[in-house]
Structure 1
Amino acid sequence: MSVIASQEFYRSPIFWAAAAVVAAVVIGVGTMWATLRAANPKRSIQYAMEETRLLQPHEHLDGTMELRRNGVPLTDPRIVRVRIRNNGRRDVSANDFDSAHPIQASFGVPVLELLSSGSQPPTSHTPAAVVSGNELRIGPGRFGKATETSYVVLIDGQPAFELRHSLLNVPVREGITLGFTSRLLTEVVYPIAGAGAALLIIILGAPFT
């Protein structure tokens, strides 16, 4: 009797409809994965700058408030965070810097101090950086795949940000987007899985005939 029931189950058009949905989901995920993989090069650097003004103008302040650094008053102090992300699938190494020239993050005004630096994940390597006039010079060093490195500096004045680099065969562009794995999950896996689950519920909710 169980053999007959099994045979009848596999002959059901509802079963094959459900199997088709599962196959479509698998094929869809595979196709979109290949598309996203092709759109994300093996090595890719993205960067962004975020600034915070420490003295905000206010109508109720009479202009007597000031900040000082080492006894010197600051006219328009700002904290600037430079973010550098390797959105590619492979590390960017120190050997990728042409003639060992560092990345130069220029602010258009003097950099007073490098306040902090770090990477996410926390166990990732953070290339060294030094202050040089209006610039923060970063590296050469390794930027691990799917790793974001941040440098926080203190400046005094309105910045005019510019980033120059000597990286060889590594695309560099302004603006940080989701990494390959995050894009795959949010743009492909979750939507297709949700749609597939909904279709399966509808199909399997019908009686087998």
Structure 2
Amino acid sequence: MLIATPWYESGSFWQFAITTLVAVAVGFLGAFATLRASNPKRRLAYWTLANTSLFVASHSQTGALTVAHHGTTVQRPRVVELELRNTGRRDITAAQFHAGQPIVYDLGADVVAVLEVASQPTGTVAPSVGISAGARHRIEVPPCLLTRKQKVNISLLVDGPERPVRCLGAPLVDVQVRETAEPVRSRSVMLMYGWAINFVVLAIASLFMR
């Protein structure tokens, strides 16, 4: 007497199910890739690399060391390093600064000087960062071109206690601006992980279809 094989033990059923699953996954990934290509995101991330006092407590109390800038003594000197990075898939242009307004950051202490503004990779142009007129605890990043993957490091000498750097305004059109605690992972690495997962899924599916 022949006993019917349960449907869940049928090789043809599992082959059909896995083939369907792979086809749906491939179709979804293709649609997702097409959508991403047609709607590229613009993103600007920033974070504080350093906020370091130039004096240890004993020096500031005894006056053993002093720091002066253009003849003016800095009472509580600190060096703040701020990093901006275009983490999106397209350039951020000067035209995307609404009404020509700058990005404004609050250092929480008077900015004595902009020590350096460096840009990477080589060939990109660093923006002309300046101290806000009438508000010396703020700096401004004027309308500029920030190319894809461009990184801008801003070094500042400030006079005052340690305070978190805050973005007071980023009037950018169609650009997502966010603060991160540490440099964001490269999008190419994330894509590599995604393709690796897809490869594993297809490899497993091919084993079942043999």
Residue in structure 2 matched with residue 183 of structure 1 by the alignment: 190
Task: Work out whether 1:82 is the aligned partner of 2:82.
Answer: yes
How far the C-alpha of 1:67 sits from its partner, in A, is 2.3
1:66 touches 1:74 (CA, 8 Å); kept in 2?
no
Q: What's the counterpart of residue 119 of structure 2?
A: 119
The Cα shift of 1:56 comes to 2.5
Give 1:108 shift. 2.0
RMSD over aligned CA atoms reads 3.8
Length, aligned pairs only? 180
- The reply on whether 1:170 has 2:169 as its aligned counterpart is no
Q: 1:61 to 1:84 in 2, by over 3 A?
A: closer
Cα distance in 2 for partners of 1:134, 1:156 equals 9
Query: 2:99 is aligned with what amino acid?
Result: S
Which structure's relative contact order is higher, taking Cα pairs within 8 Å and 6+ residues apart? 1
Would the alpha carbon gap of residues 125 and 182 (structure 1) be closer, same or farther in structure 2, given more than 3 Å must change? farther
Does the 8 Å contact 1:66/1:73 carry over to 2? no
Mapped partners of 2:47, 2:40: distance in 1: 19
Q: Is the 8 A contact 2:67 2:77 kept in 1?
A: no
Distance 2:41 2:177 in 1: 12
Gaps in structure 2 of 5+ consecutive residues: 1-21
TM-score, normalisation: structure 2: 0.68
Match of 2:43? Answer: 44
- Structure 1 pair 90–161 and aligned structure 2 pair: CA distance change class (3 A): same
Alpha-carbon separation, structure 1, partners of 2:143 and 2:75: 33
Distance in structure 1 (CA, Å) of the matches to 2:137 and 2:158: 9
Name whichever of 147-156 and 93-102 sits farther off: 147-156
List runs of 5+ in structure 1 lacking aligned partners: 1-23, 204-209
Q: Deviations along 1:43-82, whole A, 9 cap, x unmatched?
A: 0111111312211235x99733222214433232111111
Alpha-carbon shift at residue 131 of structure 1 (Å)? 1.4
Q: Percent identity, aligned pairs only?
A: 24
Distance in 2 (alpha carbons) for counterparts of 1:100 and 1:79: 29
Letter matched to residue 176 of structure 2: P
Work out whether residues 66 and 75 of structure 1, in 8 Å CA contact, stay in contact via their aligned partners in 2: no
Q: 1:150 aligns with which of 141, 148, 153?
A: 153
Per the alignment, residue 101 of structure 1 pairs with 101
SS at match of 1:113: strand
Greater CA drift, 118-127 or 135-144: 118-127
